[in-house]
Amino acid sequence: MRTYDFVAVGLGPFNLGLACLTAPLDELDGLFLEQRDEFAWHPGLMIEGVTIQVPFLADLVTMADPTSPYSFLNYLKQTGRLYRFYIRENFYPLRAEYDAYCRWAAAQLPNVRFGSRVDRVEHDATTGDYLVRVTRSDAEATTTLRTRRLVLGIGTVPYRPAVVRDLPGPAVHSADYLANKARLQRLGSVTVVGSGQSAAEIYLDLLAEIDTHGYQLNWITRSPRFFPMEYTKLTLEMTSPEYVRYFHGLPAASRDRLNRDQRSLYKGISGDLVDTIFDTLYRKDVAGPVPTTMLTGTALTGADWDPDAGRYRLGLHHQEQDRDFTMDTDGLVLATGYRPAVPAFLDPVRDRIRWDEQGRFDVALGYTVDHGDREIFVQNAEEHTHSLTAPDLGMGPYRNSVIIANMLGREVYPIEQQIAFQQFGAPPDSDVPQAPSAPSAATGPVATQRQEALIR
């Protein structure tokens, strides 16, 4: 039986980037498995005109290898769209455009297997290999693959808060928005619950056609305001190797607190989108009041579905006023984000994986989770250990460079150690400038040397 150097499970942008970066490496024999029949990146949110929130340089490969044939710029060149993108003068690709780019890259890779569901992973104690049991969507039979390493890139799953987790009725998660848009627009009222980019995009999409369909449109967010994403350059330095090392070295409780405090850095709304929503409201308001309600600082505390009336009654709590109230709505969109999930197929090898006190992957600095730090890697399952860099598309090539170096024992793609101007954390004692001593009569070279040392 063939033994692969690694088998990667899941084909989102991060594992797809790994496939592109390992494609020219004869030393690594890898296979990429995806249970869907084709590449699909957030298909329920491919709203026309929306862009990704990072510049085009944050593609699958460029930040690791700017010469790669799998770059976004090469995709534009090969599809005859490079000059149009150039004339557009916008660094941010359309979301549909980025999805098409990923599909283009996947189609060129011979070691990608779509329609392949991983059912079970076992460990062969005799050889030290992993046995991956796979069911193909086009066949009934299950095959077994042998591999030395695993790379888990299954991504995150739609999250529903506990108060609506088992809610009956036609409520939809934002991940399924487009498939349900027409049905929602036939209703008398629609309520969007959520604080981030997806909630804002869906609200604007429904707002744009509110005159045509005549529904009441509501937007409820727990945040005290419609937070714009912080996108200043010194804040962007937090997506850096230095910050990863700093964050990883903090106690778990501190990391969890920071992740809560830093949500607006990467889970807020783009400033341009906030302005577009206001401008759309202003434009429509010229013809008369817009049938919409926008509530900030309001938490969803419960929901009941009345099948006879065909509507929900939402339990809400205004946090600043400490006041409970209710709202009725026919349609409900839960733009409540995503959470990492531990796949059941790992159950037979759970003892080979490190777990933290909350049952999450205990991810080492080099993105490994096995006890030996050389067999099982994770992609975008390490926000609790590596901070906001985990879901960041621009940090994907960096993470893949680290994973490849771990597999081969050498750097194929140079791994940046320091890119930020600022320093995270207190400096070592030897680097802390000391206060100058009291003035003295010392002059000349000795005084000058002391001054230069302070500057350094």
Asked if residues 347 and 383 have their Cβ atoms less than 8 Å apart, the reply is: no
pTM of structure: 0.91
| Residue 106 and residue 84 in one domain | yes
Q: Is residue 238 part of a domain?
A: no
Q: Which of 382, 408, 434 corresponds to the end of one domain?
A: 408
| Residue 374 and residue 303 in one domain | no
Q: pLDDT of the chain along its 456 residues, tens only?
A: 899 999 999 999 999 999 999 999 999 999 999 999 999 999 999 999 999 999 999 999 999 999 999 999 999 999 999 999 999 999 999 999 999 999 999 999 999 999 999 999 999 999 999 999 999 988 778 999 999 999 999 989 999 999 999 899 999 999 999 999 999 999 999 999 999 999 999 999 999 999 999 999 999 999 999 988 888 899 999 999 999 999 999 999 999 999 988 876 777 899 999 999 999 999 999 999 999 999 999 999 999 999 999 999 999 999 999 999 999 999 999 999 999 889 999 999 999 999 999 999 999 999 999 999 999 999 999 999 999 999 999 999 999 999 999 999 999 999 999 999 999 999 887 666 666 555 444 444 433 333 333 333
| Residue 15 and residue 109 in one domain | yes
Reported as type and span, the H/E element at residue 406 is helix 396-408
The SS3 of residue 312 is strand
| Residue 150 and residue 287 in one domain | no
| Residue 129 and residue 94 in one domain | yes
At residue 279, the pLDDT reads: 98
Q: Is residue 213 part of a domain?
A: yes
The boundaries of the domain holding residue 107 are 3-155+341-408
Residue 131 Cα distances to 124, 125, 128, 247, 340, angstroms: 7, 11, 10, 34, 24
H-type alpha helices, 209-354: 210-213, 233-236, 241-248, 252-261, 263-266, 271-285
CA gap 193, 173 in Å, rounded: 10
| Residue 66 and residue 132 in one domain | yes
Q: Is residue 115 part of a domain?
A: yes
Q: Which of 408, 425, 445 corresponds to the end of one domain?
A: 408
Q: Is residue 280 part of a domain?
A: yes
Q: Domain total for the chain?
A: 2
Q: In this structure, which long-range contacts are made by residues 313-322, counting pairs with CB atoms below 8 Å and at least 24 apart in sequence?
A: 314/191, 314/220, 315/163, 316/220, 319/222, 319/224, 320/224
H-type alpha helices, 291-348: none
CATH classification at residue 190: 3.50.50.60
| Residue 14 and residue 139 in one domain | yes
Q: Is residue 397 part of a domain?
A: yes
Q: Which of 370, 389, 408 corresponds to the end of one domain?
A: 408
